[in-house]
A and B are shown apart, each in its own frame.
Chain A
């Protein structure tokens, strides 16, 4: 099947890394909101530094109609901005494949509100820093997991093609027949780590895995993850990776092997920058799944509520209880 040209919607960190790499092997169109952003990309290209080092030629546009010519649409905005990003795409032909890369659960349902496209679900562990409109640094070159979204007309062969495309472009990709186990592993990991980080202002350090004294954060992180695992079990999901092992692994290598340096999880970065966090899609979806399956998640619920209190975009609710 012909997936080209490939549209990348959004050019933040993940959008930029994806667009830059894929542009080396396929025809890429980048849809952005601001005209000056499109102009910068069209005139100067997209520079990727860090784990990769090159400048890619991309075609950037602010016109959603340009996406209609594409065979594959990769959606990279934050979960909080996804609905607004997909709304102008409702005229895109129904056989175009859409791929979601958002954190948490529920992105696919948001997309399906605007069209009955075949959907590929993805979760990505890549990370980096966006330095400017046309420069993104590639920091963690970890894999993107992808698989067909159940209930839509997506076959595994299409996902294999996309996985090959990622690998040829120099990205790491893993294709799975059912993405939910991977999605849930990341959901449970992110709920605990992003939630604790957003409250404590503490980057992801070995303290998140320490369990020596009663007040050590590792106990809280493990308790939160155990709540998540109980919900996954009740929802019938066999986890792809154990979230606690993902936690100990993440703080035991690379840039985070010292207590003096730490990766700043995205929800903490959002709190610091006064941006709306993805709390409703990450911890919020875990709490909602807990309610749906009848599993008690008291500590996740507490963390969810505290992040909402820290997220100043919810400030209008103060005093209205």
Chain B
């Protein structure tokens, strides 16, 4: 079986490194970073932290190099989804492509380019330390299921889940993966956006009664949108938030890391996604839209000279 990982940041590298430990799987990595690709091809891909993994996928910066693949796993940031799938879609003319990205809306973009799509949500996290080397910070599960408008077959979903689990990335195949996706989406919309706007780390933000009041409103709106879409939550995001106080007290969520480094954020896929789906089902989302436009304003401040 041939699997391509599209986008090899921290999350993509976790998937690629694990899969490449399996002898029966041929793993390809597509990434735009020349340095990262060269390091993987020369010295392999190395994970340290939660576990030690060292394996040798084949990496490339050119989509044209990819052979026909059975599965794709897209792990780019949301704003790069379109360019990444556009560059690699020829490899999936008879394959199924799974998004393990943050937020919502990525599967819709992928479905414009490939025949069969899998919706995915993943919790493991890490950081790229240097080319070819990734710090694995958090272990966790992955949930996948067919993306209904252009679904992969149930067998394909099962097969991918089985392969990922066998490689060490515990994955569950579901008939409807929207509950898992929206659980993480709503949790992220509350935590990432509000941490970014206040500069507070995860648990500290949830402990601040003023920030928590706004987070709770963002979560309520998200749950109302999900309910109107007929989605059953995997877990209450409000409980995840409460748990973050203990497990992530001083953890800076990825969007806050982006803001501190002045990189574009995934706010369009998070709070922006809640708003877009809210519009579709007629549920008002004023708090999510406020957070969305405030983070957009924050991004705009980086390009401003003042007097």
Please give, as numbers and ranges, the residues of chain B lying within 8 Å of A36 by CB-CB distance: none
Q: Choose among A196, A309, A319 the residue that contacts B210 (Cβ–Cβ < 8 A).
A: A309
Would A207 and B297 count as touching, CB distance under 8 A?
yes
Would B293 and A215 count as touching, CB distance under 8 A?
yes
Would A321 and B293 count as touching, CB distance under 8 A?
no
With both chains docked as a complex, state the minimum distance between the C-beta of A214 and any C-beta of chain B, in angstroms: 6
| Secondary structure dominating the interface of A | helix
Please give, as numbers and ranges, the residues of chain A lying within 8 Å of B217 by CB-CB distance: 298, 302
Given contacts A215-B292, A306-B198, A321-B207, contact A261 B307 (CB under 8 A): yes
Selecting from A51-59, A183-191, A217-225, A238-246, the interface stretch reads A217-225
Chain B 196-215 per-residue mask, 1 if CB under 8 angstroms from chain A, else 0: 01111000110111111110
A217 and B199 CA atoms in complex are apart in Å by 20
Asked if A250 lies at the interface with its beta carbon under 8 angstroms from chain B, I say no
Please give, as numbers and ranges, the residues of chain A lying within 8 Å of B33 by CB-CB distance: none
A260 and B303 CA atoms in complex are apart in Å by 7
Asked if A216 lies at the interface with its beta carbon under 8 angstroms from chain B, I say yes
Asked if B296 lies at the interface with its beta carbon under 8 angstroms from chain A, I say yes
With both chains docked as a complex, state the minimum distance between the C-beta of A316 and any C-beta of chain B, in angstroms: 11
Given contacts A215-B268, A223-B286, A259-B304, contact A305 B211 (CB under 8 A): yes
A314 and B298 CA atoms in complex are apart in Å by 22
Would B300 and A200 count as touching, CB distance under 8 A?
yes
Would A217 and B293 count as touching, CB distance under 8 A?
yes
Would A220 and B298 count as touching, CB distance under 8 A?
no
The range of chain B's interface size is: 35 or more
Would A305 and B210 count as touching, CB distance under 8 A?
yes
The range of chain A's interface size is: 35 or more
Please give, as numbers and ranges, the residues of chain B lying within 8 Å of A299 by CB-CB distance: 286-287, 290
Would A319 and B207 count as touching, CB distance under 8 A?
yes
Would A309 and B198 count as touching, CB distance under 8 A?
yes
Would B304 and A302 count as touching, CB distance under 8 A?
no
Q: What would 6 A/B residue contacts be, using CB atoms closer than 8 Å? A: A196-B294, A214-B292, A215-B293, A216-B293, A309-B210, A310-B199
Q: A215-B296, A306-B214 are in contact. List 5 more A-B contacts (CB 8 A).
A: A215-B293, A261-B304, A261-B306, A301-B213, A310-B199
Q: Which residues on A are within 8 Å of B, measured CB to CB?
A: 196, 199-203, 205, 207, 214-217, 219-220, 223, 255, 259-262, 264, 298-299, 301-303, 305-306, 308-310, 314, 317-321
